[in-house]
Amino acid sequence: MATVLIAEDDKTSRRSLVGIISKLGHAVIPCVDGEQALNILLNHEDIDVLVTDYKMPKIDGLELTRKIRDNENFSKLPIIMVSAYIGVDRTDEVLQKGVSALLVKPVKSTDLENYISYFTKQ
């Protein structure tokens, strides 16, 4: 199965994401912000998918996406962004910045499962 990195500062949301993804049989690496996620990514090249929150301390989800896309080693890494702040009206903007998929909080487990399955079968 895949290895999924989760960057989510909210403890309850992080626990929920870990539960959904673990239930699918994937290995999960949870972290609390974009800075920690970037450090983990740079030291673990076996990450298959990143699930990141939009609004986080230190490095937010869009800045994390930019830094990842600027790194040739991770330019094709699937990034699923979750947010309670980004509405449908900003979806195109977020996707143009390198996010692979956007889910609005509260995240429906079936939507997350579908994206993870899609990105890990390619």
| Structural contact between residues 17 and 107, judged by C-beta atoms closer than 8 angstroms | yes
Chain segment 44-95, per-residue pLDDT in tens = 889 999 999 999 999 999 999 999 999 999 989 999 999 988 766 778 888 8
Write the single-letter amino acid at 40: I
Which runs of consecutive H residues, i.e. helices, occur in 24-59?
34-43
Chain segment 99-115, per-residue pLDDT in tens = 999 998 999 999 999 99
Q: Indicate the helix (H) or strand (E) that contains 27.
A: strand 27-31
Domains, the chain, in order of start with CATH, read 3-107 (3.40.50.2300)
Q: Which two tokens stand for residue 43?
A: 């030291």
Cα–Cα distance, 26 to 48 (Å, whole number): 10
Q: What percent of the chain lies above the pLDDT cut of 90?
A: 81
Would the pTM of this model clear 0.85, i.e. be above it? yes
Q: What per-residue confidence (pLDDT) applies to 122?
A: 57
